[in-house]
Amino acid sequence: MTESKLRELYEQNLRQMDNLTEKQQNILKAALSLFAEQGFDATSSSQIAKRAGVAVGSVYQHFHNKRELLMAVLTPLTKSVFSQAADQFIDKTLDKDYNSLEQFIRALVADRMLFISNNREEFKIMLGQLLSDNQLGPELNHAFNEQPKTTAFPIIDRLKKKKLIIDYPNDVIVQFVFGPLVTFFGKIILAIKPMPIDQEINYAVGLIVNGLTPRSN
Amino acid sequence: MTESKLRELYEQNLRQMDNLTEKQQNILKAALSLFAEQGFDATSSSQIAKRAGVAVGSVYQHFHNKRELLMAVLTPLTKSVFSQAADQFIDKTLDKDYNSLEQFIRALVADRMLFISNNREEFKIMLGQLLSDNQLGPELNHAFNEQPKTTAFPIIDRLKKKKLIIDYPNDVIVQFVFGPLVTFFGKIILAIKPMPIDQEINYAVGLIVNGLTPRSN
Amino acid sequence: MTESKLRELYEQNLRQMDNLTEKQQNILKAALSLFAEQGFDATSSSQIAKRAGVAVGSVYQHFHNKRELLMAVLTPLTKSVFSQAADQFIDKTLDKDYNSLEQFIRALVADRMLFISNNREEFKIMLGQLLSDNQLGPELNHAFNEQPKTTAFPIIDRLKKKKLIIDYPNDVIVQFVFGPLVTFFGKIILAIKPMPIDQEINYAVGLIVNGLTPRSN
Amino acid sequence: MTESKLRELYEQNLRQMDNLTEKQQNILKAALSLFAEQGFDATSSSQIAKRAGVAVGSVYQHFHNKRELLMAVLTPLTKSVFSQAADQFIDKTLDKDYNSLEQFIRALVADRMLFISNNREEFKIMLGQLLSDNQLGPELNHAFNEQPKTTAFPIIDRLKKKKLIIDYPNDVIVQFVFGPLVTFFGKIILAIKPMPIDQEINYAVGLIVNGLTPRSN
DNA sequence: GATGAATGAGATTTCATTCAT
DNA sequence: AATGAATGAAATCTCATTCAT
């Protein structure tokens, strides 16, 4: 299971910002929670300062403006974690010669669902920015468009050869697998009834696998 | 196809706000587009006024503050359209005695996807609010939790009896069907590569149906 | 005497900014005096607002930032007045066929000294900016380098032909004539003992003329 | 030539501030150049620290606030150098029994022009302060009003007796001699086309002398 | 002495909202 | 109803200065 690794990676990323004082760390944490609660625009510098227990000026000591602070909050998610995790995923999970579709789907869904669950606050912030910021969208297109080509596509192709997966375009398949993940995220955002994550995974895997498995006739 | 009805309903709702001058209508339209483009907080009254081609003061003539304007933008979507459309959906679409799973899924997916596509701007605004406003979430719980119980659940139950659908909990099934819809909406938000909506519908329907169809063995 | 014209031109320029409310005019006046007294950087928006008798926000209603306000204060001096006055000067003063050197010098010195005297505040501000702003300098080079070529130089050439003026390079002569004017301005800046302006003019003209008159031997 | 002496005096003055570390000297130099480039107000402590290659705190180790730093920059110019140089000037230059007007003027103009040229940065700063500080002006009045009375006036009187100089009031003559010097300084401020300083001196001397020489008739 | 993170007062600027015309 | 100048509260950000290390 790669999940523990993810947490580790995240923590590691935070520690990499090691030029940060304890107070600056507090500012980062305060900003993270406030951005998630109220959104970026609705959060004022003085609010952040108050929650972090520092003076307003201190917010601007290390992070030279609010946007930079936002980026500092999102970076561990987008940059490092995203790609590193993805790389890890290739190495440790996807790169095995999957014989069964289910093994593949289960690994992927579990990994990503835990990732979403563990980073829900950051994801909320990112989504919020995506809605207003017209710059972030294109940046993420890569992650969602290009990454699968080198990671998931080869595996899908292999499964296709073995007739273990339905013959739909690769991107359509990927998009379909993402469905339950995105819905899961949606539920988190809407604070909708929590279902034990194992159950959530099991149901999702069951339905996705069924959906992707070719009918014999 | 219910889509045209939706538009009609929306327009009708706008016309119901009939105490509105033409200028006020322009203000509403300007606010709608700006909120969708930049988010609520990042949109200023004077921007709205400029795009509407009126004076700033006029923005406050009918809508007494910015928040009221936001509500006026969202109301036709949430209140009227949502419920009315839902009712319509029951009457016209779901309430038939579906014999085939595919008929049911296709009707539902097509309808909702067009609904999302036609109201993308409003949905973007609403999502934006959902992320910051901690009040809207619970309200929508009803729509997503309770409504299906009286609309989709009976149909699913009927399909289950005929062994035309997999024997998963009803809410899990509903959630699964929503997957591609939510993903579709996500793509709109991220402004990701447009695929002809018919194709999008066909692929989604194919996969969902396959996923929900019981295996013979 | 062109002096009255200058004042007229200046006032006219101010009136051309006619989109200005009375309050905005007050802001302009307040800014002018405060910039002259304390310098641009040392003057705060709230100081301007207070002296103008308006709210802080009103300072930014018409002039969108402090620099724009500075420009609004300096523009009538640099742009319009400078060039217009210069044009007028050509037409009305320099363009006569001066036979005597003294006539020429007296006209020029009197005109410029009154110009300086009448616009001392604006000149102080401009000089202050010149010292810090690295953009204004080059702009003024034109005025000081190019303008004389089309205005004063032809007259000097004519005087040279008639042996009425010493045979020094034209720009050296112009620079020399400017000496007493610049000194006069320096005295105003330093708030040094005022001498009746007529006397100031007479002495300056006497010495300049003597300096420029060729010795017979 | 007294110029070298001036530099020496200046350096000597700096050395007199001998409680200064090398770092503190760097701070002084950094402040000098930055104040000259951008003006006092527009220069921040951290900028000074950066250019001096020290920490912000070090700026305040010796100079207890920014104004004190400004004074430390200006003092060697105003206090020591100014008066000392003036004294030197009396001793070494003016106190000779000048027979020719030109000798006198040439000595004075050359000396002052080099002085200005060598201390242009300090002069820029001083002028900048003069424009905003309403206290420095009066202080300088002495230098410009009283000093000549004991230095230049006696020499002028002697020249008048010998009919070697025009019979204008002494202060008018002094002011006239200063004209080209002030203009020269103005050109430095405006960064206007540089002319070789020897030429600048020669032309100025020629014109001033001609201007001050009585006509035979 | 030197450092630089922390401070908080204050500056600039924005903007929802009011109100006289 | 419509206008847009005026308002002032609040937000972002800067910076001189302090102080613990």
CATH code of the domain containing B130: 1.10.357.10
CA-nearest of D187, A141, C71 to B186 is: A141
Is B217 domain-assigned?
A: no
Q: Is the pLDDT assigned to residue D104 strictly greater than 80?
A: yes
Query: Residues 156-175, chain D: which have Cβ within 8 Å of C?
Result: 166, 168-169, 172, 175
Q: Is the pLDDT assigned to residue D1 strictly greater than 50?
A: no
- HEC profile of chain B: CCHHHHHHHHHHHHHHCCCCCHHHHHHHHHHHHHHHHHCCCCCCHHHHHHHHCCCHHHHHHHCCCHHHHHHHHHHHHHHHHHHHHHHHHHHHHHCCCCCCHHHHHHHHHHHHHHHHHHCHHHHHHHHHHHHHCCCHHHHHHHHHHCHHHHCHHHHHHHHHHCCCCCCCCHHHHHHHHHHHHHHHHHHHHCCCCCCCHHHHHHHHHHHHHHHHCCCCC
Q: How far is CA D32 from the centre of its chain?
A: 15
CB within 8 Å: C180 and D180 = no
Q: Pick the residue with more confidence: B78 or D65?
A: D65
Question: Which residues from chain C sit within 8 angstroms of residue D132, using beta carbons?
Answer: 38-39, 42, 128
Q: How far is A5 from chain B (nearest CA, A)?
A: 27
pLDDT band at C56 (very low <50, low <70, confident <90, very high): very high
**Calpha distance C177→C213 (Å, rounded):** 13
pLDDT (mean) for C17-22: 75
Instruction: Specify the pLDDT at position B16.
Output: 62
Identify which of D37, D38, D182 has the shortest CB distance to residue C183.
D182
Q: Pick the residue with more confidence: C58 or C149?
A: C58
Cβ neighbours of residue D117 closer than 8 Å, sequence gap 6 or more: D188, D197
The pLDDT > 70 percentage for chain B reads: 75
Lowest mean pLDDT among C2-11, C136-145, C166-175: C2-11
Average pLDDT, whole number, for chain C? 82
> Can you give the distance from the CA of residue D64 to the C1' of nucleotide F19 in angstroms?
14
Average pLDDT, whole number, for chain B? 82
Helix (H, G, I), strand (E, B) or coil at D212: helix
- Number of domains making up chain B: 1
Q: How far is CA B91 from the centre of its chain?
A: 18
Lowest mean pLDDT among A81-95, A149-163, B23-37, D122-136: A81-95
D53 in C contact zone (CB under 8 Å): no
Which run of H or E residues covers position D67? helix D66-75
Cβ neighbours of residue B145 closer than 8 Å, sequence gap 6 or more: A192, A193, B171
Please spell the DSSP secondary structure of A65-99, one letter per residue.
SHHHHHHHHHHHIIIIIIHHHHHHIIIIIITS---
pLDDT band at D28 (very low <50, low <70, confident <90, very high): very high
The pLDDT > 90 percentage for chain D reads: 38
Instruction: Specify the pLDDT at position A187.
Output: 87
User: Across chain D, which distance is largest between two alpha carbons, in Å?
Assistant: 70
Instruction: Specify the pLDDT at position C1.
Output: 43
Is B155 domain-assigned?
A: yes
Cα distances (Å, whole numbers) of residue B38 to A41, B74, B193, C25, C171: 11, 16, 21, 36, 58
Give the single-character DSSP code of D165.
Answer: S
CA-nearest of D31, D36, D4 to D189 is: D36
Q: Is the pLDDT assigned to residue A85 strictly greater than 90?
A: no
Instruction: Specify the pLDDT at position A131.
Output: 87
pLDDT band at D4 (very low <50, low <70, confident <90, very high): very low
Is C138 domain-assigned?
A: yes
Q: Is the pLDDT assigned to residue A61 strictly greater than 70?
A: yes
End-to-end Cα spacing for chain A: 35
pLDDT (mean) for C15-37: 85
Compute the C-alpha angle A92/A93/A99, nearest 5°: 130
Say if residues C9 and C80 touch (Cβ distance below 8 Å). yes
> Can you give the distance from the CA of residue C122 to the C1' of nucleotide F3 in angstroms?
35
Say if residues A200 and B175 touch (Cβ distance below 8 Å). no
- Tokens encoding D43: 């220069």
Instruction: Specify the pLDDT at position A10.
Output: 56
Scan for tokens 């920059």, then name that residue. Answer: D73
End-to-end Cα spacing for chain D: 36
pLDDT band at D47 (very low <50, low <70, confident <90, very high): very high
> Can you give the distance from the CA of residue A65 to the C1' of nucleotide F12 in angstroms?
8
Instruction: Specify the pLDDT at position C13.
Output: 60
pLDDT (mean) for A35-62: 94
Cα distances (Å, whole numbers) of residue B74 to B30, B61, D209: 13, 19, 85
pLDDT (mean) for C11-22: 67
> Can you give the distance from the CA of residue C65 to the C1' of nucleotide F3 in angstroms?
24
- Chains A and D: 3 or more CB pairs within 8 Å of each other: no
Is A217 domain-assigned?
A: no
A60 in B contact zone (CB under 8 Å): no
Q: Is the pLDDT assigned to residue C31 strictly greater than 90?
A: yes
Q: How do residues A87-127 score in pLDDT, each as one tens digit? A: 555 555 555 655 688 888 998 888 888 888 888 888 889 88
Residue type, A21: T
CA-nearest of D195, D4, D202, D212 to D109 is: D202
pLDDT band at C16 (very low <50, low <70, confident <90, very high): low
Q: Is the pLDDT assigned to residue C203 strictly greater than 80?
A: yes
> Can you give the distance from the CA of residue A11 to the C1' of nucleotide E15 in angstroms?
40
The pLDDT > 70 percentage for chain A reads: 79
CB within 8 Å: B38 and A178 = no
Identify which of A37, A131, A172 has the shortest CB distance to residue B127.
A131
CB within 8 Å: A37 and B193 = no
Lowest mean pLDDT among A25-39, B36-50, B191-205, D137-151: D137-151
Residue-range definition of the domain harbouring residue D56: 3-212
Instruction: Specify the pLDDT at position B81.
Output: 46
Q: Is the pLDDT assigned to residue D109 strictly greater than 70?
A: yes
Q: Pick the residue with more confidence: A148 or A52?
A: A52
Give the single-character DSSP code of D40.
Answer: S
Q: How do residues B146-156 score in pLDDT, each as one tens digit? A: 777 877 888 88
pLDDT band at D81 (very low <50, low <70, confident <90, very high): very low
Say if residues A85 and A2 touch (Cβ distance below 8 Å). yes
Say if residues A62 and A20 touch (Cβ distance below 8 Å). yes
**Beta strand ranges found along D74-207 (DSSP E):** none
- Among A129, A130, A132, A193, the residue to mutate for chain B (most B Cβ within 10 A): A132
Range B24-54 burial, b when 16+ CB lie within 10 A, else e: bebbbebbbbbbbbbbbbebebebbbebbeb
pLDDT (mean) for B66-78: 84
Give the single-character DSSP code of C214.
Answer: P
The pLDDT > 90 percentage for chain C reads: 41
Residue type, D3: E
Instruction: Specify the pLDDT at position B1.
Output: 42
Q: How far is B217 from chain A (nearest CA, A)?
A: 11
Contacts by residues A198-204 (CB-CB < 8 Å, ≥ 24 positions apart): A200/A113, A201/A106, A201/A109, A201/A110, A201/A113, A203/B168, A203/B169, A203/B172, A203/B176, A204/A109, A204/A113, A204/A180, A204/B176
B130 in A contact zone (CB under 8 Å): yes
Is C65 domain-assigned?
A: no
C42 touches strand E (CB under 7 A): no
CA-nearest of A4, A13, A37, A15 to A121 is: A37
> Can you give the distance from the CA of residue D153 to the C1' of nucleotide E14 in angstroms?
61
Q: How do residues D182-194 score in pLDDT, each as one tens digit? A: 999 988 888 777 7
> Can you give the distance from the CA of residue C74 to the C1' of nucleotide E13 in angstroms?
22
Q: Is the pLDDT assigned to residue A30 strictly greater than 60?
A: yes
Phi, psi (degrees; rounded to nearest 5) at C192 = -80, 145
Residue type, B81: V
Query: Within window 23-42 on B, which residues have Cβ closer than 7 Å to strand E?
Result: 42
Query: Within window 19-58 on A, which residues have Cβ closer than 7 Å to strand E?
Result: 21-24, 54-58
Say if residues B180 and B209 touch (Cβ distance below 8 Å). no
Q: Is the pLDDT assigned to residue A4 strictly greater than 70?
A: no
B151 touches strand F (CB under 7 A): no
Say if residues D122 and D32 touch (Cβ distance below 8 Å). yes
Instruction: Specify the pLDDT at position B191.
Output: 77
**Calpha distance D30→B60 (Å, rounded):** 54
D186 in C contact zone (CB under 8 Å): yes
Please spell the DSSP secondary structure of C21-45, one letter per residue.
-HHHHHHHHHHHHHHHHH-STT--H
CA-nearest of B138, B32, B13, B131 to B83 is: B13
Is A105 domain-assigned?
A: yes
C143 in D contact zone (CB under 8 Å): no
Q: How do residues A120-177 score in pLDDT, each as one tens digit? A: 888 889 888 888 887 777 767 776 777 778 778 888 888 898 899 999 999 999 999 9
Query: Which chains contact D through at least 3 pairs of Cβ atoms less than 8 Å apart?
Result: C
CB within 8 Å: C192 and D41 = no
**Calpha distance B201→B117 (Å, rounded):** 12
Say if residues A206 and A102 touch (Cβ distance below 8 Å). no
Neighbours of A71 (CB within 10 A): 14
Lowest mean pLDDT among A27-31, A191-195, D11-15, D150-154: D11-15
**Calpha distance A104→A112 (Å, rounded):** 12
- Tokens encoding C164: 């009425």
Q: How far is B212 from chain A (nearest CA, A)?
A: 7
**Calpha distance D71→D67 (Å, rounded):** 6
Instruction: Specify the pLDDT at position C149.
Output: 81
pLDDT (mean) for B104-108: 89
Instruction: Specify the pLDDT at position B4.
Output: 47
Please spell the DSSP secondary structure of C120-146, one letter per residue.
HHHHHHHHHHHHH-TTHHHHHHHHHHT
Between chain C and chain D, the number of residue pairs with CB atoms below 8 A apart is 123
- Tokens encoding A111: 């990994």
Strand F footprint nucleotides (protein C-beta < 7 Å): 1-20
> Can you give the distance from the CA of residue A53 to the C1' of nucleotide E8 in angstroms?
14
Lowest mean pLDDT among B165-174, C52-61, D67-76: D67-76
Q: How far is D80 from chain C (nearest CA, A)?
A: 21
- Tokens encoding D32: 């000098």
Neighbours of C168 (CB within 10 A): 19
User: What are the respective helix, strand and coil percentages of chain A, to the nearest 5?
Assistant: 75, 0, 25
Is D217 domain-assigned?
A: no
Q: How far is CA D58 from the centre of its chain?
A: 30
Query: Within window 181-200 on A, which residues have Cβ closer than 7 Å to strand F?
Result: none
Query: Within window 122-181 on A, which residues have Cβ closer than 7 Å to strand E?
Result: none
pLDDT (mean) for B188-200: 84
Lowest mean pLDDT among A146-150, B210-214, C211-215: A146-150
Instruction: Specify the pLDDT at position D16.
Output: 61
D210 in C contact zone (CB under 8 Å): yes
Residue B187 exposure: Cα atoms within 13 Å on the Cβ side: 23
Is A56 domain-assigned?
A: yes
C51 touches strand E (CB under 7 A): no
Which run of H or E residues covers position C208? helix C197-212
pLDDT (mean) for B70-98: 63
Q: How do residues C85-132 score in pLDDT, each as one tens digit? A: 556 655 565 556 666 889 889 988 988 888 888 888 888 898 888 888
Q: How do residues C124-159 score in pLDDT, each as one tens digit? A: 898 888 888 777 777 677 767 777 787 788 888 988
Cα distances (Å, whole numbers) of residue A202 to A102, A193, B174, C120, D169: 11, 17, 16, 84, 106
Phi, psi (degrees; rounded to nearest 5) at A80 = -60, -65
Instruction: Specify the pLDDT at position C153.
Output: 87
pLDDT band at A14 (very low <50, low <70, confident <90, very high): low
Cα distances (Å, whole numbers) of residue B212 to A183, B113, B209, C158: 17, 19, 5, 103
CB within 8 Å: B190 and A130 = yes
Question: Which residues from chain B sit within 8 angstroms of residue A190, using beta carbons?
Answer: 130, 137, 140-141, 144
